[in-house]
Amino acid sequence: MAVAKYLGVVLLVLTVCVTTAASDGMTQRNIQVYQSLLDSLMKRLAAENCQISEISGLKHLVKRSLSAADDDYHLKLIQHDYNFLSDELQKCRAAKTPTLPAAIPKECLGAVNLTEDWRSNYTTGFSNPAAFNCDTKDMKQQGRPWFRFTSGAGNRLVDRCISPNSCGTHGPIWSDDTTPKLVGVVTPYRMYGSTGSNCKLFTFRASIIKCSDRVLDFVYCYEDIEYCPFGFCGMKDSM
């Protein structure tokens, strides 16, 4: 009975020794693998001229890692260094990748330019053009194109009520609706036609798109009925 007990203890000790030896062997192999990976990673960083943050501390860790005894603690240290360097390489590459400009919405590329000086003339009368302008009719006949204000017409639709018989038309079209913040999003936009003493006697359906990150880069689309004589008033906004 005593012999059997003794043999059982011996067997248990041998099992522990074999298991420990196998575990140590696995740890040593893992350390060798990570040491090789670390060396390769350091070469890639140097080849890509990457500046590493906290480099003084990292060199210390790498030196300790590569010369450390083969145990679990130093395996974790090497793994830490490898993960840190991998992150640094990714950040370095991301910083060198040029940021491509956002695609310009197709509505902006094909927009019609309104350039006439009289669109931003708020003085009553219509000496120029020779007759009342009617954009609601013209836009409908042209297939309701997207349009923008530029040159003498300004850089946006006027944002306040304009007196009748201004901007080359009888009923000036304007809007105080909110303009979009996001680029390329078609947004409903209310326009108004002022006549007589009522600035919002007529409400017209329209849409607006922000074409770029520039503050006042908008195009518009008139979507309502033909109603003459009403025309778009422009303004030069300095925002």
Q: What are phi and psi of 28, to 5 degrees?
A: -60, -40
The C-alpha atoms of residue 176 and residue 145 are separated, in whole angstroms, by 22
Q: Are residues 139 and 202 in the same domain?
A: yes
Give the pLDDT score at 173.
Answer: 96
Residue 101 is assigned to a structural domain of this protein: no
Cis check: omega of the bond before 145, within 30 degrees of 0: no
Q: Are residues 69 and 146 in the same domain?
A: no
Residue 140 is assigned to a structural domain of this protein: yes
Q: Are residues 30 and 72 in the same domain?
A: yes
Segments forming the whole domain that contains residue 206: 106-235
Q: Are residues 227 and 110 in the same domain?
A: yes
pLDDT band of residue 62 (cuts 50, 70, 90) is low
- pLDDT at position 191 over 50: yes
Give the pLDDT score at 186.
Answer: 94
Q: Are residues 74 and 123 in the same domain?
A: no
Q: Are residues 7 and 61 in the same domain?
A: yes
pLDDT band of residue 21 (cuts 50, 70, 90) is very low
> How many angstroms separate the Cα of 12 from the Cα of each of 7, 17, 21, 54?
9, 9, 14, 48
pLDDT digits (tens, 9 = 90+) for 140-185: 999 999 999 999 999 999 999 998 888 889 899 999 999 999 999 9
**Widest Cα–Cα separation across the chain:** 125
- Residues 126-138: what's their mean pLDDT? 76
Give the DSSP letter string of 170-194. Answer: SEEEE--SPPPSSBT--EEEEEEEE
The C-alpha atoms of residue 219 and residue 146 are separated, in whole angstroms, by 6
- Round the CA-based radius of gyration of the chain to a whole number and report it: 37
Instruction: Look up tokens 């590493």; give the residue.
Output: 52
Q: Are residues 67 and 24 in the same domain?
A: yes
Which of 96, 116, 145 terminates a domain? The answer is 96
Closest among 125, 138, 204, 127 to 170, alpha carbons compared: 125
Percent of the chain with pLDDT over 90: 39
Give the pLDDT score at 63.
Answer: 53
User: Could you give the number of structural domains in the chain?
Assistant: 2
- b/e code 3-32 from CB counts within 10 Å (16+ = b): eeeeeeeeeeeeeeeeeeeeeeeebeeebe
The C-alpha atoms of residue 118 and residue 128 are separated, in whole angstroms, by 6
Q: Are residues 22 and 110 in the same domain?
A: no
How remote is the C-alpha of 6 from its chain's centroid? 74
More confident residue, 221 or 23: 221
- pLDDT at position 40 over 70: yes
Residue 132 is assigned to a structural domain of this protein: yes
Which of 96, 119, 153 terminates a domain? The answer is 96
Q: Are residues 128 and 26 in the same domain?
A: no
pLDDT digits (tens, 9 = 90+) for 105-128: 999 999 999 999 999 988 765 545
The C-alpha atoms of residue 133 and residue 231 are separated, in whole angstroms, by 6
- In contact, 222 and 135? CB cutoff 8 Å: yes
Q: Are residues 227 and 133 in the same domain?
A: yes
Which of 96, 128, 147 terminates a domain? The answer is 96
Whole-model pTM over 0.85:
no
- pLDDT at position 71 over 60: yes
- pLDDT at position 22 over 60: no
Q: Are residues 131 and 230 in the same domain?
A: yes
